[in-house]
Amino acid sequence: MVKSNVYLVTGGAGFIGSHLIDRLLELNLGNVILLDNFNDYYSPLIKQRNVSLLESRHRDRLFDGSFIIIRGDINDLELLKIIFNKYNITHIAHLAALAGVRSSTSQTGKYMEINYNGTQNLLELAASYKITQFVFASTSSVYGQTDILPFIETDSCSKPLSPYAATKRAAEMLAYVYNNMHGLNITILRLFNVYGPRGRPDMMPMKLMQASVDRTYTIDVFDNGEIKRDWTYVDDVIDGFISALKQPLGYEIINIGCGNPIKLSTFIEHIENLSGEDISKRPMKSHKTEPSITYCDNSKARKLLNFSPKTSVREGLEKTWNWFQEEYAVLVSSDDSD
110 versus 281: smaller Cβ distance to ligand NAD: 110
> Using CB under 6 A, which of the segments 9-17, 176-184, 207-215, 265-273 binds ligand NAD?
9-17
Please select the residue that binds ligand NAD; options are 6, 8, 9, 13, rule is CB under 6 A.
13
7 is catalytic: no
Strands (E) in the chain, as ranges, are 6-10, 31-36, 67-71, 91-94, 133-139, 186-191, 194-195, 219-222, 228-229, 232-233, 251-256, 262-263, 281-284
Q: Which residue is nearest to ligand NAD (CB)?
A: 14
Cα-based distances in Å from 237 to 7, 12, 29, 84, 174: 17, 15, 18, 27, 23
Give me the catalytic one of 7, 111, 143, 164: 164
Please select the residue that binds ligand NAD; options are 21, 24, 34, 36, rule is CB under 6 A.
36
Which residues are within 8 A (CB) of 21 and not within 5 positions of it... i.e. 6 or more apart?
9, 12, 32, 34, 54, 67
Please select the residue that binds ligand NAD; options are 33, 34, 73, 243, rule is CB under 6 A.
73
φ/ψ of residue 302, rounded to 5: -60, -40
95 versus 221: smaller Cβ distance to ligand NAD: 95
11 part of the interface to ligand NAD, by CB under 6 A: yes
Please select the residue that binds ligand NAD; options are 58, 91, 169, 200, rule is CB under 6 A.
200
Please select the residue that binds ligand NAD; options are 89, 93, 194, 264, rule is CB under 6 A.
194
**Count of positions on this chain that bind ligand NAD (CB under 6 A):** 28
24 part of the interface to ligand NAD, by CB under 6 A: no
229 part of the interface to ligand NAD, by CB under 6 A: no
One DSSP character per residue, 283-326 reads: EEPPPTT--SB--B--HHHHHHH-------HHHHHHHHHHHHHH
| Residue whose C-alpha is closest to residue 74's, from 47, 127, 34 | 34
305 part of the interface to ligand NAD, by CB under 6 A: no
Contact 191, 139 (CB under 8 A): yes
| Contacts with ligand NAD, residue ranges (CB under 6 A) | 10-11, 13-17, 36-39, 41, 47, 73-75, 95-97, 99, 114, 118, 137, 139, 191, 193-194, 200
Active site residues: 164
